[in-house]
Amino acid sequence: MNNSQPGASDLSGGVGRDPKLLRSWRWFGPDDLRSFGHRSRLKGMGFDDVDYRDRPIIGLLNTWSDLNTCHSHFRERAQELRRGILQAGGFPVEVPVMSLGEMLMKPTTMLYRNLLAMETEEVLRCHPLDAAVLMGGCDKTVPAMIMGAISADVPVIFLPAGPMLKARWKNETLGSGSDAWKYWAERCAGNLCDSDWNDIENCIARSAGTCMTMGTASTMACIAETLGFTLPGASSIPAVVAEHCRLAVATGRRAVEIAWENLRPSQLVTAQSIDNAITTLLTIGGSTNAIVHVLAMARRAGVPLTLDRFDELSEQVPVLADLRPSGRFLMEDFHHAGGLSALLLRLKDRLNLDCLTISGCTLGKQLEGSEVLNDEIIRTRDNPLWPTGGTCVLRGNLAPDGCVLKTVAAEKRLLTHRGPALVFDNYAQLKAQINSPDLPVTADTVLILRSAGPLGAPGFPEWGMLPIPQKLLAAGVRDMVRISDARMSGTSYGTCILHVSPESHLGGPLALVVTGDEIELNVPERRLSWLVSDEEVARRRAAYQPPAVRFDRGYQQMFSRHVTQANEGCDFDFLHGKSPGAEPDIF
Ligand code: FES
């Protein structure tokens, strides 16, 4: 960050501005009993009028938690945000919101993404906030908070947690997630001793911050930056370097300005900026999870979006970022190579440059002055990591509503493949049987997992990178065709066909496959075929027993009744679109 960054220049506070235009004036300005109560209670907390009257009140929606390993530096960042807010004449208030730490929550944080989105929306609506800083980073926190902010349509700016520093083990550079999968496979194959495995455990997570590969967290941070929710460069700054502290201070300053400007998410999220977000997802070789999240965010903003748009753009956009799990490098390298702005500069002709950003300028203006500093990490257009179709949408009689494959992270030989299915009814069965010496499996087998979708698991867990059976690992096999209605971690890789819709729990075709059925994958033709006759499918359909309802209370019941399918973004059906008003106005 430098002093020309947005948020660094205007330190004039509210001088010359009309405080009656601030949203918080409706709480503190009127001469009535209710406002008296609001003011007197702030005074009871030790604040005088001069602290908050006629100043933008800026919420810090903080997802810090001792149980969120990726956000452990957020208490310090909150202090830096406060510094920036005070510098610019605002009044900072910290508001804790639900923390979704990917590593420690079961069964999956995806079960709770919509809960955090609801909380964000309601916290923004019901409090006297003129603007807010959304402090997130670990996977679902990013889409959840942005979804809520889109619906509340109160000015917000996003502060990404930033990626962890690169890890080292012996002479290897380690990336969290991706290398955990890789070395676990080696351990299962008998190639890694206990001591080495223990050493990797000790060093693979080197600092605070999010996974340092182009996993879901980094993908969503890049998408947030492209949509204009962050200051430029924010998506790749490592979590624990001084630059990240300065980013927080600058973000705080800018938060005060967007309050005065009333710069709202509805001005950022448009059909054009959503296209930019998808282009970013494709060129960074980002997480397949982002497809679900972008669908949900677009629908909150009233932008009609289907999987078809992802596939259309996929045919046009090359993968230029050589980052794990698809490529070689890590987020720290990406940052030093110029970061997202430099990458997007290489795709200027494919972007809608007129889209507004939180800086107050257009995306095109924001990219000016960016520079690629390393052509190995950010490839040129004539030397891409993958030409086009790095992530693709497949259809066929096994996935009538679509499924996705991250082609760039798959073994190329498997992109056209035919083999017999080996079906696991659920994850428990998979876990119990996958390493059995008697498992009827060869390298050509197509592994299938069902009951792993939004409703089936429930919560749509990251089980989609089905483990390679131990006996095949020992024989040197490292990738197979795998199909499920699950998601997979953004740090995962392999020929994993994901998000099969409709899911098996709803009686989608995946529910009717039996071991031995022939499956054909044809990525060039975007086809996933289940080679069983219509008569046989009808016979199995007639005998099919739908699963029993499992949840009769609480949040899980609400989730089960209202979550939509993967191809629709897995939002709750009653949350599409915006809140009815800026705040509840019944008092
Ligand atoms: Fe938090 Fe990967 S576990 S970003």
Kindly state whether residue 569 falls inside one of the protein's structural domains.
Answer: no
Q: Residues 50, 150: one domain? A: no
Kindly state whether residue 345 falls inside one of the protein's structural domains.
Answer: yes
| Protein residue with least CA distance to atom 1, ligand 1 | 138
Q: Residues 518, 439: one domain? A: yes
Domain boundary among 203, 226, 251: 203
Distance 485 CA to ligand 1 centre (A): 22
Q: Residues 348, 295: one domain? A: yes
193: domain range? 168-203
Q: Which atom belonging to ligand 1 lies closest to the Cα atom of 217?
A: 4
Write down the pLDDT at residue 579: 74
Distance 111 CA to ligand 1 centre (A): 16
Kindly state whether residue 9 falls inside one of the protein's structural domains.
Answer: no
Q: Residues 448, 500: one domain? A: yes
DSSP string for residues in 433-489: HTT-TT----TT-EEEE-S-STTTTTS--S--SPPPPHHHHHTT-----EEESS---
Q: Residues 185, 211: one domain? A: no
Give 178's pLDDT tier (boundaries 50, 70, 90): confident
Q: Residues 455, 322: one domain? A: no
Q: Residues 197, 84: one domain? A: no
Mutate to test the pocket of ligand 1, among 63, 67, 99, 102 (most ligand atoms within 8 A of CB): 102
Kindly state whether residue 149 falls inside one of the protein's structural domains.
Answer: yes
DSSP conformational letter for 57: E
Q: Residues 231, 197: one domain? A: no
Q: Assess contact for 460 and 108: CB atoms under 8 A.
A: yes
Q: Which residues line ligand 1 (CB under 6 A)?
A: 70, 102-103, 138-139, 210-211, 215, 217
Q: Residues 336, 347: one domain? A: yes
Token pair, residue 172, equals: 């290897």
Write down the pLDDT at residue 13: 53
Q: Assess contact for 317 and 346: CB atoms under 8 A.
A: no
Distance 169 CA to ligand 1 centre (A): 20
pLDDT single digits (tens) 326-351: 999 999 999 999 999 999 999 999 99
Write down the pLDDT at residue 583: 65
How large is the greatest C-alpha to C-alpha distance in the chain, in angstroms?
A: 79
| Protein residue with least CA distance to atom 3, ligand 1 | 102
Kindly state whether residue 358 falls inside one of the protein's structural domains.
Answer: yes
Q: Residues 40, 178: one domain? A: no
Distance 103 CA to ligand 1 centre (A): 7
Kindly state whether residue 59 falls inside one of the protein's structural domains.
Answer: yes
Q: Which atom belonging to ligand 1 lies closest to the Cα atom of 69?
A: 1
Q: Residues 362, 244: one domain? A: yes
Distance 178 CA to ligand 1 centre (A): 12
Kindly state whether residue 587 falls inside one of the protein's structural domains.
Answer: no
**How far apart, in whole angstroms, are the C-alpha atoms of residue 397 and residue 569?**
21
**How far apart, in whole angstroms, are the C-alpha atoms of residue 493 and residue 306?**
24
Does the pLDDT of residue 442 top 80, yes or no?
Answer: yes
Does the pLDDT of residue 2 top 50, yes or no?
Answer: no
Write down the pLDDT at residue 423: 98
Distance 488 CA to ligand 1 centre (A): 13
Residue 520 β-bridge partners: 418, 529
Q: How many structural domains comprise the chain?
A: 4
Whole-number average pLDDT of the chain: 94
Q: Residues 488, 422: one domain? A: yes
DSSP conformational letter for 570: S
Domain boundary among 145, 180, 203: 203
Kindly state whether residue 562 falls inside one of the protein's structural domains.
Answer: no
Give 585's pLDDT tier (boundaries 50, 70, 90): low
Phi, psi of 395 (to 5 degrees): -135, 170
Q: Assess contact for 571 and 296: CB atoms under 8 A.
A: yes
Distance 466 CA to ligand 1 centre (A): 20
Kindly report the three-state secondary structure assignment for every residue of 118-154: HHHHHHHHHCCCCEEEEEECCCCHHHHHHHHHHHHCC
**How far apart, in whole angstroms, are the C-alpha atoms of residue 211 and residue 163?**
6
Residue % of the chain over a pLDDT of 90: 90
Token pair, residue 217, equals: 């967290």
**How far apart, in whole angstroms, are the C-alpha atoms of residue 318 and residue 554?**
45
Question: Is residue 88 classed as helix, strand or coil in its secondary structure?
Answer: coil
| Protein residue with least CA distance to atom 2, ligand 1 | 211
Does the pLDDT of residue 9 top 90, yes or no?
Answer: no
Weakest-pLDDT range from 47-61, 170-184, 454-468: 170-184
